[in-house]
Structure 1
Amino acid sequence: MDITIYYTMWDGKNGSHKLLTTAAGQWLSSCGRSVPEEFQIIAKGPYVKPYIGNIRELEFSISHSGTLWMCAFAQKAVGLDVQKTQNCRKDRVSGRFFHPKEDAWLAAKDYEPFFQVWAAKESYLKYTGAGLTQGMDSFSVISEEGLSESTKEVQQRHFLLDGETLLSGQKLLCGPLAVCITAEEIGEVNWVLLTETE
C-alpha cells in the first residue's frame, strides 16, 4: 500500500483542520477522485480514531512537532508521528514510560535514538487508534537488531531527517526530525510539500 505524506510549516495554534482538508483534497485529486465540497471529521469507534465521514475509504494520521505539520494518507489504516529532537531528560522519560527492552537499548546507546523510539511508539498507537490509553510500556519497537521494521505484526518505516531541506529541497528550518509510519503494509512513501489552494 502506497502512502502519501503532506507536510508544511505551521504556527502550532490555528488551521490544522484547514490544512487537513487542503491535503485531503489534493490527495483525492491526485488519485483522480472527486473532492467533496464539505469534509466532516468524525471520531467514532472503539478508540475514537477520527475519519472523514463522507470519504470513509480515506484513512489519515496527523502529526506535528515544533513548526512542522504532517499528514499521512492511505486507503487503509495508517499511523504517523513526527518528533523534533530537543533537549529533555531522555533517561527519565524512557525509564518511566518505555518498555524495559527499549530502555535498556537506549541506555546502551546513550539515549541518542530516543526520538526515533518515541516516534515509532506514537505512530503505532495512532495506527491502532488506541492512543496513550494502551500505555507506551505495553509493547516494544525494538528487535535484536535495533529499531524494528514491524510492531505487533504491522510494518513500520523509520526516517531521520535533517529538517533543513526536508525531502523536496524546501528550506523549513525545523531542526532534526524523527518520523515513523505504521501500516499493515507499506509500499512507496510519497512526500509532498502542501501548497495552498484557492
Structure 2
Amino acid sequence: MKTSNASSRYDPGLLSDEELAERAHNELFHVTRAYEELMRRYQRTLFNVCTRYLGNERDADDVCQEIMLKVLYGLKNFEGKSKFKTWLYSITYNECTTQYRKERRKRRLLDALDLEPQEEASEEISPKIEEKGGLDRWLAHVNPIDREILVLRFVAELEFQEIADIMHMGLSATKMRFKRALDRLREKFAEEAET
C-alpha cells in the first residue's frame, strides 16, 4: 500500500514526454496529471502550428480541441514506438489536413452557388496574413504540403525525419520539398523587394 501511494505522487514537470505518456497510458481516465502536463507543454505550439496551417485562429482553436481529445483517448493505444512529439504532430497534421479539406469543399460549394466566397475568404484569411507579416506572409505563397513542412520545421521545430514520418514521405523527398519551397519563397520575395 505504501509503495503504490508513493508511486502515485510525482512531479509531472520533472518527467520527459515519454515518461508522461507512459504514466498517462496507465493512469487515464482516473488520474489526468500526466496528460494535463503533456498538453500544457505543447498547447501554445499546437495552436501556432494549426493557425499557420489553417490561416485563422477560429479554425485553429477548434482543431486544437479535437487534437486534445484525440490525444486523451489515443494515449491508451500509444505504444511509444516513436517519440510522443512525433505522434502528437502526426495527429495534428491529420486534423489540420481534414479541416483544410472541409474548408476547401465549403468554398467550392459557395463558388457553385455563386455566393461570393472571395468576399468571405478575403475578410477572414487574407487580412490576418497581411497584418501579421513574417512567416504567415510567406506561407500564403506555398501549397498546403510545402506549408505544412515549413510549419513543422520552423514552428514545431521538428527534425526532417520526424516531419517525413508525420507526412508519410521519404526523408530525401521531405528535404527536397523543404529546400524547393524555401528557394521559391526567396525568389518571390527578392522580386518583391526589387519592385
The two structures have a TM-score, normalised by structure 1, of: 0.23
Give 1 or 2: higher strand fraction. 1
Greater relative contact order (Cα 8 A, min sep 6): structure 1 or 2? 1
Q: Based on CA coordinates, which of the two structures has the bigger radius of gyration?
A: 2
